[in-house]
Amino acid sequence: MQFLLWLLLIVIAFGAVSYYRMSMFNATVAMFAALVFGSVMGIVGGFTWLLYLIIAIPLNIESIRVQYLTSPILKLYKKIMPEMSSTEKDAIDAGTVWWDGEIFSGNPNWQVLHNIPQARLTAEEQAFLDGPVEEVCRMCNDWDVTHTRADLSPEVWQYLKDNKFFAMIIKKEYGGLDFSAYAQSRVLQKLSGVSAVLATTVGVPNSLGPGELLQHYGTPEQQNHYLPRLATGEEIPCFALTGPEAGSDAGSLPDTGVVCKGQWQGEEIIGLKLTFDKRYITLAPVATVIGLAFKMSDPEGLLGEQKDYGITCALLPRETEGLDIGNRHFPLNVPFQNGPIRGNDIFVPLDYIIGGVKMAGQGWRMLVECLSVGRCITLPSNSAGGAKSIALATGAYARIRRQFKIPVGSMEGIEEMLGRIGGNTYLMDAVTSFSTKGVDLGEKPSVISAICKYHLTEKMRQLVNDSMDVHGGKGIMLGPNNYLGRGYQGAPIAITVEGANILTRNMMIYGQGAMRCHPFVLKELFAANNPDEKQGLAEFDSALFAHIGFAISNFFRSLWFSITGARLAGAPFMDETSQYYRAMQRYSSNMAFLSDVAMGVLGGELKRRERISARLGDLLSYLYLGSCVLKRFDDEGRRSEDLPLVHWAMQDTLHKLEVSLEELLDNFPNYWLGKALKLVIMPFGKRFTKPSDQLDHAIATILQTPCEARSRLGKGQFLSREPGMLMGDLEQTLENVIASEPLYTKVCKAAKERYPFTNLDKIADKGLELGVLSEEQAELLRTTEQGRLRTINVDDFDPSELAQEVQKPKAKRKPKSAEAA
Ligand SMILES: Cc1cc2nc3c(=O)[nH]c(=O)nc-3n(C[C@H](O)[C@H](O)[C@H](O)COP(=O)(O)OP(=O)(O)OC[C@H]3O[C@@H](n4cnc5c(N)ncnc54)[C@H](O)[C@@H]3O)c2cc1C
C-alpha cells in the first residue's frame, strides 16, 4: 500500500511538472517539495531521496551535464544522423514556420490564432473583382474555349493583357497591380468557377515563373527590361523545369548549360551552351520569355575554379536561335496552353542567368522559395473557387431536378453528397483565406502550402465526383450547357502539378514539417553541424534537454487527455465549438509525442517509411485544416446559421485525423510499441464519428435554399443573371422554382388533382382558367418552366459535327523518343 502511494505521488508530481512544462530548475524545486510532502506523510524514504539527488544534481549542474551526458550523446547523434542532401537542405531553409509551429508545439495557443487579423480586400482589389474580373467571366464561354477553339478567344487574351491580369504579383513601380495574396486568391476563385482554362492561364504567370523569380532575384537590368513588359502582357512567361527523365525528382534534371566561348552578335564572348528537353510546360506554346532550369558546369574553368554549379535558372527570349517551341500537349480536354520545349547546343550570353553569374547554382533554392508561397495560392484557390461554384450549382440543381415526384435533393442518398459538398466547400474557403493571409503577413509557409495543395486538390476531386453523381446524365453529356464535365475531366491535373499528390503527402508535408515545425529538431541539427564545436556543444545541450522535457511533457499530456477525454483542456470559447478546441489540443500533444517516438525509433529511416510519415503528416494537416475552420467561424462573427457547416467540417476533419492516428499506431514499425502507444493515446478508441445524417440534411437544406449561409458559401463567385450565364441562370431558376411551388400547389388544390411538377406553363393556364392565379403569377410559372427545362436538358449534336470534332486533336509530330526509335 505504501509503495502504491509512493508511486502515485511520484507520478502525479512528475506528471504535473511535465504537463505544465516547467523549466529544469523549477521542476527540480517542485519535485523537492513533493518529496518533502511525501517524507512528512511517511511514504518517501532515504532511497527516494538518494535517487532524486543522483538525477537532480548532474541535470542541474551544467558542467557535469555537458561533459557526462550531452557530449557522448552528441557524438552518437553525429554518427547516426543521415547526411542531408543539398536539395533537402534548400527545401528546409526555404520556408518559414507560422501557425504550423504552434500546432506542432503540442499545446497550441488559440489566442495566437484568433489574434491573426482576418484577410480583407483593399478598395482597389474589390474594384478589380467587381470590374475586370466580372467582365472577363462574362466574356468567357468555356465550351467555346474547351471544344471549339482549344484556347481562350483572342478578345479574352487581349482583355487579360490590357487589364493586367498577368501582373497581379508585379510591383506597382514596374506597372503591375501588386495585389495581396488574398486578392489573387479571390480573383482565381472567381475565374475558376467559370473556366479552368481561364483560371490556369491567369494563375501561372502570377505563380512560380519569370515574374516572381525576377522580382526576387533578377538583376536591375533584367527587372527593368522584363517586368514592365510582363505587366502589360507584352511578354507572356512560362517556366520549364520538368522533363521526360525528371518529373517528381525534378532536382535530377539532365539538362545542361556548359560555360564556353562562342559567337554572339558578331563577337566572341563567354556564354552558356544549353541542351535541354522539357515537357508539360504551361503557356510554353504562346510564351515569349522562357524561364529554364538546367545544371550549369564550367569544365574549362572560364569563370573560376568551380566546375559544377548545380541547378541554375535563366530567361530565354522566344526568338533565341535553336529553340524548339510551339507544339501543344492536350491536358485532359482542358486545353490551356501547354507543351514541350527543346534545345540542343543553344548558345546564350551569361547575363541570361536570372540574377547574373552570382546566382549560378542557386536555382533550386530560388524555385523552392517561390514554390513555398505559390503553392498556397494558385491550386488551392482554383480548387476552392471551383468548389464554391459547384456547391451552389449542385444545390440548385438538386432542388430543381425532380424524380419520384420530389426534388432529388430531398432524397437521403443525395443529402449525403450535398453534406460533403457543403462542408468541404466551407473548409476549403476557410483554408485559402487563412493561408493567403499568412503569405500577406510575410510568411513563406512551405509546410502549410504543401498541406493546402494536397488537401484542397484532393477535396476538389472528391467534390466534383460527388457533384457528377448528383447530376447524373446531366453532368455526363458534354456541350455548351454542361458546367461540370470539364472540371471533372481536369481534376487530376491539379492533383499532378506542382508536386504530385502522392509525393506531397508521403514525403513533403511531414518530411519538411518534422524538421521545420518541431521546436527542437532543427536546432539540434544545426548545433551538431556547427563548425565551432564548443558553441555547437552548448547549443546542442540546450536544445537536447528542452527536447527531452518536451517529449516527456507530451507523453503526460497525451495520457492525461486520454484519461479525461480532454474534457478539462482549455478552449477560448465556451460554446458548441469548445469540444473541437479541446480535441485539437489533445491531438496536438499526440502528434508531438508520436513524432518524437517515431524519430527516436526510426531515426533517418523515417524518411523512407513513407506511410508512417504520411500519417504523421495527416495529423499535422488535419489540425491545420481544423484551425482554419474555427478561425473562419470566428472571423465571420460566429453566426449560428453557419454552425451545421462548421460542425460538419470539424467532425469530418477530426474523424479523418483519428483514422490516420489509429492506422499509424496499428502499423507502427515496432508492433508492441505500437500497442503500448495506443494504450496511452487512444485507450477508448476513436471519439469522432463521420458527420451524422442530420448534419448532412441540414447542409443539404442550406445548399438548396437561398439564405445567408448559402450566400456566404458562394461569396465572390460569378453569378451574373444575364441571359446565357449558366451559374446565374441556375440561381435564378432555383429562386423561381421555390417561388412557384406554392402557386403550383394552389392550382393542384383548386383542380383537385395532383399534377406532376412539369409543364408549368400548362399549370399556369389552368390556374388562370380556374381563377386562382394572377397574370403575374402565371408568368412566373412560365418563366420557371423555361428555366427548369434549361436546367434539366442536355445538348445534342449532328453526328457529322461530333465526328469532325473527335478527329480534331491529331498529334502533329511524334515525341522525340519515338522518332529516335
Ligand atoms: C498539366 C500540367 C502542367 C504542368 N506545368 C508545368 C510547368 O509549367 N512547368 C514545369 O516545369 N512542369 C510542369 N508540369 C510538370 C509537373 O510538375 C509534373 O508532372 C509533376 O512534378 C510530376 O511529374 P511526373 O508527371 O513526371 O510524374 P512522376 O514523377 O513520374 O510520378 C509518378 C507518380 O509517382 C509518385 N511519386 C514520385 N516520387 C515519389 C515518392 N518519392 N514517394 C511517393 N510517390 C512518389 C508521384 O506522386 C506520382 O503519383 C506540369 C504537368 C502537368 C500535367
pLDDT digit string (tens) for 518-555? 999 889 988 998 889 999 999 999 999 999 999 999 99
**CA–CA dist 418, 141 (Å, integer):** 27
Ligand 1 pocket residue status of 737, Cβ below 6 Å: no
Ligand 1 pocket residue status of 522, Cβ below 6 Å: no
Q: Which of 179, 180, 105, 89 is nearest to 549 (CA)?
A: 105
Give the model's pLDDT for residue 808. Answer: 56
- The alpha carbon of 4 and the centre of ligand 1 are apart by a number of angstroms equal to 59
Across 449-455, average pLDDT: 97
- The alpha carbon of 586 and the centre of ligand 1 are apart by a number of angstroms equal to 36
Ligand 1 pocket residue status of 246, Cβ below 6 Å: no
- Whose Cα sits closest to atom 31 in ligand 1? 248
pLDDT digit string (tens) for 223-248? 999 999 999 999 999 999 999 999 99
Across 449-468, b (16+ Cβ under 10 Å) vs e yields bbbbbbbbbbbbbebbebbb
Q: Within 10 A of 411 (CB to CB), how many other CB atoms are there?
A: 16
How far lies 453's CA from each of 209, 445, 566, in Å?
Answer: 18, 12, 31
Strand-pair partners of 240? 292
- Whose Cα sits closest to atom 6 in ligand 1? 281
Across 319-327, average pLDDT: 97
- Whose Cα sits closest to atom 23 in ligand 1? 247
Confidence band for 78, pLDDT divided at 50, 70 and 90: confident
pLDDT digit string (tens) for 559-588? 999 999 999 999 999 999 999 999 999 999
- The alpha carbon of 243 and the centre of ligand 1 are apart by a number of angstroms equal to 10
pLDDT digit string (tens) for 249-275? 999 999 999 999 999 999 999 999 999
- The alpha carbon of 738 and the centre of ligand 1 are apart by a number of angstroms equal to 46
Across 387-403, average pLDDT: 98
In sign, the C-alpha dihedral spanning 410, 411, 412, 418 is: negative
- Residue 554 sits at φ, ψ, to 5 deg, of -65, -30
Ligand 1 pocket residue status of 607, Cβ below 6 Å: no
- The alpha carbon of 152 and the centre of ligand 1 are apart by a number of angstroms equal to 25
Ligand 1 pocket residue status of 496, Cβ below 6 Å: yes
Ligand 1 pocket residue status of 500, Cβ below 6 Å: yes
- The alpha carbon of 492 and the centre of ligand 1 are apart by a number of angstroms equal to 11
Confidence band for 85, pLDDT divided at 50, 70 and 90: low
Give the model's pLDDT for residue 819. Answer: 46
- Residue 529 sits at φ, ψ, to 5 deg, of -95, 5
Strand-pair partners of 346? 274
Strand-pair partners of 239? 291
Question: What's the one-letter identity of residue 629?
Answer: V
Q: Is the pLDDT of residue 387 over 60?
A: yes
Confidence band for 818, pLDDT divided at 50, 70 and 90: very low
Across 635-651, b (16+ Cβ under 10 Å) vs e yields beeeeeebbbbbbbbbb
Across 13-17, average pLDDT: 89
Residue with cell 508536386: 499
Q: Is the pLDDT of residue 766 over 80?
A: yes
Across 176-198, average pLDDT: 98
Give the model's pLDDT for residue 80. Answer: 75
Confidence band for 314, pLDDT divided at 50, 70 and 90: very high
Burial of 676 (0-12, 13-18, 19+ CB in 10 A): middle
For 208-255, where are the E strands, in sequence order? 237-240
- Look at strands 338-349 and 237-240 and give their pairing: unpaired
Largest CA-CA distance found in the chain, in angstroms, rounded: 104
- Helices (H) and strands (E) counted in the chain, each on its own, are 36, 9
Ligand 1 pocket residue status of 248, Cβ below 6 Å: yes
Give the nearest ligand 1 atom to 248 CA.
29
Give the model's pLDDT for residue 605. Answer: 86
Which residue out of 503, 606, 609 has the highest number of ligand 1 atoms within 8 Å of its CB and is therefore the one to mutate? 503
Ligand 1 pocket residue status of 507, Cβ below 6 Å: yes
Ligand 1 pocket residue status of 338, Cβ below 6 Å: yes
- The alpha carbon of 711 and the centre of ligand 1 are apart by a number of angstroms equal to 36
Ligand 1 pocket residue status of 281, Cβ below 6 Å: yes
Question: What's the one-letter identity of residue 322?
Answer: G
Ligand 1 pocket residue status of 489, Cβ below 6 Å: no
Give the model's pLDDT for residue 455. Answer: 98
- Whose Cα sits closest to atom 32 in ligand 1? 248
How far lies 521's CA from each of 71, 85, 616, 666, 793, in Å?
Answer: 17, 17, 16, 25, 59
- Whose Cα sits closest to atom 50 in ligand 1? 280
Give the model's pLDDT for residue 813. Answer: 53
Give the nearest ligand 1 atom to 502 CA.
47
Percentage of residues of the chain with pLDDT beyond 70:
97
**CA–CA dist 36, 289 (Å, integer):** 76
pLDDT digit string (tens) for 97-139? 999 999 999 999 999 999 999 999 999 999 999 999 999 999 9
Q: Which of 688, 351, 332 is nearest to 478 (CA)?
A: 332
- Whose Cα sits closest to atom 39 in ligand 1? 503
The whole-chain average pLDDT of the chain stands at 94
Give the model's pLDDT for residue 515. Answer: 82
Give the nearest ligand 1 atom to 278 CA.
11
- Whose Cα sits closest to atom 24 in ligand 1? 247
Predicted structure pTM score: 0.95
Residue with cell 456541350: 479
Percentage of residues of the chain with pLDDT beyond 90:
86
Across 384-401, average pLDDT: 98
Give the model's pLDDT for residue 806. Answer: 53
Catalytic residue annotation: 498
Lowest mean pLDDT among 369-378, 499-508, 542-551, 755-764: 369-378
**Integer-rounded Cα radius of gyration of the chain:** 31
